[in-house]
């Protein structure tokens, strides 16, 4: 059965699949990234995982994968197939496409940025299906974004497009790792809500999910923490929709798991801030933590269709 290898590399774990031409997941597997072993060991783990997936396809599907797609975090030069930098994995300038191609016997390999790759899947087969313009924003440890235009993801001139987490929404606010203060991700990411609720509740182990539960039970301190995050998020989203005019805003990541505890106040906060702008549909992501893997599969199939057309 004709298939491609899809790999989504995260800071702690890797998700992989063999994906059929119609998008069917023919086989799924997960492994630890093992970043504590260092950057070189992580790269070797990725290559080994891909080789094992190829062997599985040969044994169980009757043939080798015809291509591979891999999504990685950090700064990515997709055009040249280089994983430029990832702070949480410790690598710099890894020629990922070349290394994977060699390990997989010369099949074509596509490399993508993890959030943009997840956005590609959400846009084509997930919550954005049918939307010609969308913005996908996962709210996790940080906040990133993927700008969807007519079935593709806009990477920008230098590969940095969509970094909505570094819009300054509270000038003079908390320090951000990027060097600015008051960035959106310092106030509205899952990590930011966890920090704020741990401080407000006096429980250093409390996290964003705990805060959401406390909001649902009517805890006034939790409501205040939550509303502060929602207000900051709404400010960032209105800036984004003023620039991009998307038809849909797709919100994913850990914070979105709170469901309507997040979406009901968020829709209201965005609506009260827009003036002339058209209000987009604000919807939860549909694919969960499989988005990156599914997107990597799409990248691989896109690569094959591009080669055929050229």
CA dist 196 and 189 (Å) reads 11
* Confidence tier at 285 by pLDDT (50, 70, 90): very high
What pLDDT is attached to residue 89? 87
| Segments of 211-304 assigned E as strands | 248-252, 281-284
* Confidence tier at 245 by pLDDT (50, 70, 90): very high
* Confidence tier at 182 by pLDDT (50, 70, 90): very high
CA dist 277 and 280 (Å) reads 9
Render the chain in DSSP notation, one character per residue: --EEEEEEE-SSEEEEEEEETTS-EEEEEEEE--GGG-HHHHHHHHHHHHHHHHHHHHHHSSS--S-EEEEESSEEETTTTEEEEETTTTEEEE-HHHHHHHHTTT--EEEEEHHHHHHHHHHHHSTTTT-SEEEEEEBSSSB--EEEETTEEE--SSS-TT-GGGSBSSTT-SB-TTS-BSBTHHHHSHHHHHHHHHHHHS-TT--HHHHHHHHHTT-HHHHHHHHHHHHHHHHHHHHHHHHH--SEEEEESGGGGGTHHHHHHHHHHHHHH-SSSPPPEEEE-SSGGGHHHHHHHHHHHHHHHHHHH-
Proportion of the chain above pLDDT 90, given as a percent:
82
Q: Is the pLDDT at 118 greater than 80, yes or no?
A: yes
What pLDDT is attached to residue 308? 57
């Amino acid at each position: 059965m004709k298939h491609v290898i899809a790999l989504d590399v995260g800071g702690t774990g890797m998700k992989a699949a063999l994906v059929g031409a119609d998008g069917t997941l023919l086989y799924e597997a997960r492994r630890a990234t093992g970043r504590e072993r260092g950057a070189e060991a992580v790269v070797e783990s990725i290559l080994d995982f891909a080789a094992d997936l190829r062997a599985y396809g040969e044994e169980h599907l009757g043939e080798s994968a015809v291509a591979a797609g891999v999504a990685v975090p950090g700064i990515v030069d997709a055009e040249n197939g280089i994983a430029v930098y990832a702070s949480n994995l410790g690598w710099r300038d890894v020629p990922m496409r070349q290394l994977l191609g060699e390990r997989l016997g010369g099949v074509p390999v596509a490399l993508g940025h993890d959030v943009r790759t997840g956005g590609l899947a959400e846009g084509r087969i997930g919550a954005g299906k049918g939307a010609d313009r969308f913005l996908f924003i996962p709210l996790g440890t940080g906040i990133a974004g993927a700008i969807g235009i007519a079935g593709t993801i806009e990477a920008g001139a230098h590969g940095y497009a969509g970094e909505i987490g570094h819009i300054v929404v509270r000038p003079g606010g908390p320090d951000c790792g990027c060097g600015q203060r008051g960035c959106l991700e310092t106030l509205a990411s899952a990590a930011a809500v966890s920090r704020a609720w741990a401080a407000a509740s006096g429980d250093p182990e409390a996290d964003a999910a705990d805060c959401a539960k406390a909001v649902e039970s009517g805890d006034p301190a939790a409501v205040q923490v939550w509303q502060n995050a929602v207000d900051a998020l709404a400010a960032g989203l209105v800036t984004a929709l003023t620039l991009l005019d998307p038809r849909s805003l797709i919100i994913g990541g850990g914070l979105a798991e709170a469901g309507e505890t997040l979406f009901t106040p968020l829709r209201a906060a965005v609506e009260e801030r827009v003036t002339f702008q058209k209000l987009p549909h604000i919807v939860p992501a549909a694919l969960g933590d499989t988005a990156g893997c599914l997107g990597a599969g799409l990248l691989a199939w896109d690569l094959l269709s591009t080669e055929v057309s050229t």
